[in-house]
């Protein structure tokens, strides 16, 4: 039997067992017996050459505690060798120095003239635990003063043994101020099992007074107080970060309606994004109010307030509301613009402005209403109050008011305008015009004569509802 004389806990020891028939005859029913021992997690025997391929595995009890593993060959030819592969793995709890020696023996139904070489004892002991600990670390290659940096640290036990009382520590350079250090996965005990991994997230801020060009070397170390490490070259990891001039690529986007009515209030949404790589100081957002509009409000709806830096990946949102001019001509195009700037150098100014075009439609909903008696005595003078209203949203251009009164039973008619624009002028959205129409009836008019009093309003501006542009009263005259 050949192989290592010591094995660390949870390590795998590989051995080769050779059975030789020195002849002169073939050996029939050859039985190889290999003792199994305590303190093993894994133990296996398997044929490893052609002469051993027909072996049949089994085991026999050896009182009081041990079990013997057997491999039986029907025939081993004279001069042949059968080889077997044996693997064993000591338990993690096996103390150093534990005896794992293997007792080997071989028998055959064929008489053996020399039994002195039919047994062997191979000395094996459990060695001290061995754990190959490794640490890896990732972080930014460059950063600017004031930046918040995140490092990701991974600790791994490559085994074969558990690492008892392992320790991890970081050598933080001058120029970094800690923000947080958090374990994100893995066991929290002081023992790191073989094959286990622990991860951490470390967050630091670059001090504002750190000189440009400074290289911040952050090193993280890993080791074990009680378990030896066969490879110390992977017990530390370093990330070098060069301090550079701050840069913040600000971008602004704007959305709003493509169409609106002249006289409407229109809202536009603005989003400012910092594409990094550093925080943006002194962010300023300026909307430009176009001709034919008046600024109603400009409010921030989300994101850092004025005076607070906008971090990389951060956003600010705003809403700007403008009042469009009701007198704007149909088809007027409003170009609403916004610009963003920062006191931090911006490497890309092409995305610092945005605009939305809104085409206005002029619409004025004119209505006319008349009040007065519809039943009077012949010979009376009746006054009718007429109110014209522009419900908007746009001004009514080239406003025209007209009326008519049927002549039968009427002596005279007169119109007085109390307020509002004259015909041909503009009736602003939300405005009214008032008229008094006086009708003097004929005292000799026949009883039940009907006098039709009508009023109408029009303009050159599109009216979305012409059903309310006319009004009238059929007035019945009563003979005295």
Kindly report, residue by residue over 219-240, the tens digit of the pLDDT.
999 888 888 888 999 999 999 9
Q: Which residues contact 311 (CB under 8 A, 6 or more apart)?
A: 148, 274, 279, 304
How large is the average pLDDT for residues 11-30?
A: 91
Domains 131-243 and 248-361 share a fold: yes
Pairing of strands 125-126, 6-7: parallel
How large is the average pLDDT for residues 63-72?
A: 67
Domain ranges across the chain: 6-126, 131-243, 248-361, 365-478
User: Does the structure show a pLDDT above 90 at 419?
Assistant: yes
pLDDT given for residue 109 in this prediction: 94
Q: Could you give the C-alpha distances from 347 to 144, 209, 287, 312, 420, in angstroms and in order?
A: 14, 22, 22, 14, 58
Each residue's pLDDT tens digit, 421-448 = 999 999 999 999 999 999 999 999 999 9
Q: Scan for tokens 């021992």, then name that residue.
A: 37
pLDDT given for residue 39 in this prediction: 58
- The answer to whether the Cα torsion of 436, 437, 440, 446 is positive or negative is negative
Contact 35, 68 (CB under 8 A): yes
CA torsion, ordered 274, 279, 282, 286, to nearest 10 deg? 0
pLDDT given for residue 46 in this prediction: 83
Q: How far is residue 253's CA from residue 315's CA, in Å, rounded to a whole number?
A: 11
The DSSP string of 405-433 is: E-STTEEEEEEEEEESPPTTS-B-TT-EE
Q: Which of 55-59, 177-181, 218-222, 392-396 has the lowest mean pLDDT?
A: 55-59
Q: Can you name the CATH fold of 6-126? A: Immunoglobulin-like (2.60.40)
Percent of residues, the chain, with pLDDT higher than 90: 65
Q: Which residues contact 460 (CB under 8 A, 6 or more apart)?
A: 396, 397, 398
How large is the average pLDDT for residues 197-209?
A: 92
The DSSP string of 438-467 is: EEEEPTTPPTTEEEEEEEEEE-SSB-S-GG
Which residue from 131, 62, 66, 54 is spatially nearest to 92, judged by alpha carbons? 131
Which residue from 428, 478, 421, 415 is spatially nearest to 451, judged by alpha carbons? 478
pLDDT category of residue 63 using cuts at 50, 70 and 90: very low
More confident residue, 55 or 469: 469
How large is the average pLDDT for residues 148-159?
A: 92
Each residue's pLDDT tens digit, 360-382 = 999 999 999 999 999 999 999 99
Mean pLDDT of the chain, nearest integer = 90
Question: What is the side-by-side strand order in the sheet with 119-122?
Answer: 56-62, 66-76, 27-36, 102-107, 119-122
pLDDT category of residue 51 using cuts at 50, 70 and 90: confident
pLDDT given for residue 360 in this prediction: 95
pLDDT given for residue 65 in this prediction: 47
How large is the average pLDDT for residues 168-189?
A: 90
Q: What is the DSSP letter of 479?
A: -
Q: Which residues contact 36 (CB under 8 A, 6 or more apart)?
A: 43, 59, 66, 67, 68, 69
How large is the average pLDDT for residues 393-403?
A: 95
Pairing of strands 166-171, 215-224: antiparallel
Which residue from 426, 435, 322 is spatially nearest to 364, judged by alpha carbons? 426
Which runs of E-coded beta strand occur in 278-399? 284-288, 293-302, 315-324, 333-341, 353-361, 364-371, 375-377, 381-393
Quick one: tokens of 53?
Answer: 């391929």
Q: Could you give the C-alpha distances from 10 to 39, 50, 344, in angstroms and in order?
A: 10, 31, 57
Quick one: tokens of 71?
Answer: 């491999």
Each residue's pLDDT tens digit, 239-277 = 999 998 888 999 999 999 999 999 999 999 999 999 988
Largest CA-CA distance found in the chain, in angstroms, rounded: 164
Q: Could you give the C-alpha distances from 310 to 146, 151, 184, 253, 282, in angstroms and in order?
A: 11, 21, 27, 16, 9
User: Does the structure show a pLDDT above 60 at 89?
Assistant: yes
Q: Which residues contact 361 (CB under 8 A, 6 or more apart)?
A: 259, 260, 261, 262, 330, 331, 394, 462
* 3-class state of residue 362 by DSSP: coil
Question: CATH class for domain 365-478?
Answer: mainly beta
More confident residue, 193 or 352: 352
pLDDT category of residue 64 using cuts at 50, 70 and 90: very low
pTM of the model: 0.55
User: Does the structure show a pLDDT above 60 at 66?
Assistant: no
Quick one: tokens of 231?
Answer: 């490879």
User: Does the structure show a pLDDT above 80 at 93?
Assistant: no
Quick one: tokens of 424?
Answer: 């041909």
User: Yes or no: is domain 131-243 CATH 3.20.20.70?
Assistant: no
User: Does the structure show a pLDDT above 70 at 290?
Assistant: yes
Q: How far is residue 251's CA from residue 273's CA, in Å, rounded to a whole number?
A: 5
Q: Can you name the CATH fold of 248-361? A: Immunoglobulin-like (2.60.40)
User: Does the structure show a pLDDT above 90 at 480?
Assistant: no
Q: Which of 43-47, 272-276, 284-288, 320-324 has the lowest mean pLDDT?
A: 43-47
């Amino acid at each position: 039997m050949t192989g290592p004389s010591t094995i660390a806990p949870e390590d795998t020891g590989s051995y080769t067992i050779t059975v030789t028939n020195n002849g002169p005859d073939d050996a029939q029913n050859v039985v190889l017996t290999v003792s199994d021992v305590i303190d093993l997690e894994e133990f296996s025997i398997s044929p490893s050459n052609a002469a051993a391929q027909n072996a049949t595995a089994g085991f026999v009890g050896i009182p009081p505690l041990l079990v013997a593993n057997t491999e039986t060959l029907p025939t081993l030819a004279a001069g042949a060798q059968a080889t077997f592969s044996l693997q064993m793995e000591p338990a993690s709890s096996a103390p150093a120095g534990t005896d794992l020696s293997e007792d080997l023996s071989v028998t055959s139904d064929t008489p053996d003239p020399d039994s002195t070489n039919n047994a062997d004892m191979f000395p094996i002991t459990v060695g001290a635990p061995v754990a190959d600990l490794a640490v890896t670390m990732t972080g930014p290659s460059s950063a600017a003063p004031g930046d918040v940096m995140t490092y990701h640290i991974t600790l791994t036990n490559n085994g074969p043994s558990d690492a008892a009382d392992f320790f991890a520590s970081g050598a933080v350079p001058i120029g970094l101020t800690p923000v947080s250090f958090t374990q994100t996965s893995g066991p929290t005990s002081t023992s790191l099992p073989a094959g286990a991994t622990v991860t951490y997230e470390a967050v630091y801020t670059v001090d504002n007074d750190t000189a440009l060009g400074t290289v911040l070397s952050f090193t993280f170390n890993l080791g074990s107080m009680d378990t030896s490490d066969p490879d110390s070259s992977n017990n530390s990891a370093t990330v070098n970060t060069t301090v550079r001039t701050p840069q913040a690529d600000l971008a602004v986007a704007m959305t709003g309606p493509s169409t609106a009515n002249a006289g409407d209030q229109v809202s536009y949404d603005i989003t400012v994004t910092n594409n990094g790589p550093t925080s943006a100081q002194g962010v300023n957002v300026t909307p430009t109010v176009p001709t034919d509009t008046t600024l109603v409000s400009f409010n921030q709806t989300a994101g850092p307030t004025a005076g607070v830096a906008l971090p990389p990946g951060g956003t600010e949102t705003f809403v700007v509301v403008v009042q469009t001019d009701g007198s704007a001509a149909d088809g007027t195009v409003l170009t609403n613009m916004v610009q963003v700037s920062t006191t931090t150098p911006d490497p890309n100014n092409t995305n610092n402005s945005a605009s939305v075009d809104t085409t206005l439609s002029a619409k004025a909903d004119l209505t006319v209403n008349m009040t007065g008696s519809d039943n009077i005595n012949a010979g009376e003078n009746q006054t009718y109050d007429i109110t014209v209203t522009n419900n908007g949203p746009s001004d009514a251009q080239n406003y025209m008011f007209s009326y008519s009164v049927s002549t039968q039973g009427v002596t005279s008619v007169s119109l007085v305008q109390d307020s509002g624009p004259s015909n041909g002028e503009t009736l602003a959205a939300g405005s009214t015009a008032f008229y008094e129409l006086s009708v003097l009836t004929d005292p000799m008019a026949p009883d039940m004569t009907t006098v039709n009093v009508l009023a109408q309003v029009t303009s050159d501006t599109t009216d979305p509802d012409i059903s309310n542009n006319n009004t009238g009263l059929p007035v019945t005259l009563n003979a005295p």
